[in-house]
C-alpha cells in the first residue's frame, strides 16, 4: 500500500487532451472539409498553439488538473484498499472499517469547515493514515503467525529442566546434545519474548491511530482551526510507519542471541 504515488502532472498533455480543446479541433476540421478551405483548420491550429503555450501555464487550469489527478489517485487507492481487506481476518477488517467510518466523518466535517486546498491535503493525509493502519494490521497477522502456541511458563520450565540435566550429566556426548537443545530453546524463548514486545508496540500504535481521529475531530471544533493536514502529518510522524517494526521482526530471527549453558 505504501508504494502508491500521486502521479506528476503533465499540464501540456492535459491541455492538449482537454475535451473542449478536442471538440474545437474536430469542429474546425469539419468546417474545413465542408467549405473545402484550410482556413478554419489553420485558425484553429493557431488557437491551439496559443492555448498550449498559455493555457497550460494558467494557475486555474493547473489547479483543475491537480484536482482531477487527486480524484483519480484517491479512487485507485480506495480500490486497492478494498482488495487488501479481503486478505485480513474478519476481526481486523471490521476494525479497519470502524476507523474508515471515523475518517469519512472527519472528511465530511472538514468539507464544511475548511478551504478547498486544505480539504484536499487533509483527505490525502487521512488516506495515508488509513493505509498506515492497514500496514499495522497486516504486520499484526504476520506476528500472530510467528508466535509460539506454547506458553512462556512452559518454555521456561523446559529450560530449567535442561539446565538441571546438563549440570548433572557427566557423559560428554550427552552433555553436548543437552547443550544444543538448551541453546535452541533459549533462542526460541528469546524470539518469543521479542515478538511479544513487538506485538505490544504494534497494539499501541494501532490504538494511537484510532485515537488520532477523535482528537482531530475535536480540533476541527475550534472555529479558528484550518490547518488539518499538518495535524495529520504530525500524528503520523509521532506514530511512525510500520516498516520499522517489520524490520524489527526480521532481525528477531536473524540475530536472536543464544545463551551458553553453564
Extents of the domains making up the chain: 7-87, 89-262
Choice between 40 and 123, residue whose per-residue pLDDT is larger: 123
Each residue's pLDDT tens digit, 234-245: 999 999 999 999
DSSP state of 5: -
| Residue 17 pLDDT | 61
Choice between 234 and 63, residue whose per-residue pLDDT is larger: 234
Mean pLDDT of 170-192: 88
Long-range contacts at 247-256 (CB < 8 A, ≥ 24 apart): 248/194, 248/198, 249/139, 249/142, 249/143, 249/146, 249/195, 249/198, 252/191, 252/194, 252/195, 252/198, 253/191, 256/187, 256/190, 256/191, 256/194
Distance of CA 70 to the CA centre of its chain: 16
Each residue's pLDDT tens digit, 126-145: 989 999 999 999 999 999 99
Each residue's pLDDT tens digit, 93-106: 999 999 999 998 99
Neighbour-count burial of 91, counting CB atoms closer than 10 A to its CB (0-12 exposed, 13-18 middle, 19+ buried): exposed
| Residue 122 pLDDT | 87
Max mean pLDDT range (9-13, 120-124, 243-247):
243-247
Task: List the alpha helices (DSSP H) in the chain.
Answer: 11-17, 19-35, 39-54, 59-85, 90-113, 116-146, 152-168, 172-220, 228-239, 243-254
The model's pTM is 0.68
| Residue 80 pLDDT | 76
| Residue 150 pLDDT | 82
Amino acid at each position: 500500500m505504501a508504494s502508491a504515488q500521486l502521479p506528476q502532472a503533465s499540464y501540456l498533455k492535459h491541455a492538449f487532451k482537454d475535451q473542449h480543446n478536442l471538440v474545437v479541433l474536430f469542429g474546425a476540421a469539419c468546417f474545413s472539409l465542408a467549405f473545402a478551405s484550410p482556413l478554419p483548420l489553420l485558425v484553429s491550429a493557431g488557437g491551439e498553439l496559443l492555448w498550449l503555450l498559455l493555457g497550460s501555464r494558467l494557475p486555474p487550469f493547473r489547479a483543475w488538473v491537480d484536482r482531477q489527478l487527486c480524484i483519480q489517485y484517491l479512487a485507485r487507492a480506495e480500490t486497492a484498499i478494498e482488495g487488501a481487506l479481503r486478505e485480513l481476518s474478519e476481526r481486523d477488517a471490521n476494525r479497519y472499517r470502524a476507523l474508515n467510518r471515523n475518517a469519512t466523518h472527519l472528511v465530511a466535517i472538514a468539507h464544511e469547515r475548511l478551504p478547498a486546498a486544505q480539504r484536499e491535503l487533509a483527505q490525502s493525509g487521512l488516506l495515508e493514515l488509513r493505509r498506515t493502519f492497514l500496514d499495522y494490521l497486516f504486520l499484526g497477522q504476520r506476528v500472530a503467525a510467528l508466535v509460539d502456541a506454547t506458553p512462556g511458563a512452559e518454555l521456561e520450565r523446559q529450560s530449567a529442566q535442561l539446565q538441571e540435566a546438563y549440570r548433572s550429566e557427566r557423559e560428554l556426548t550427552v552433555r553436548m546434545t543437552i547443550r544444543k537443545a538448551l541453546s535452541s530453546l533459549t533462542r526460541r524463548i528469546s524470539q518469543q519474548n521479542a515478538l511479544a514486545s513487538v506485538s505490544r508496540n504494534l497494539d499501541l500504535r494501532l490504538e494511537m491511530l484510532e485515537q488520532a481521529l477523535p482528537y482531530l475531530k475535536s480540533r476541527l471544533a475550534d472555529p479558528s482551526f484550518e490547518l488539518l493536514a499538518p495535524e495529520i502529518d504530525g500524528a503520523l510522524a509521532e506514530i511512525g510507519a510500520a516498516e520499522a517494526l517489520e524490520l524489527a521482526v526480521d532481525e528477531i530471527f536473524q540475530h536472536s542471541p543464544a545463551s551458553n549453558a553453564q
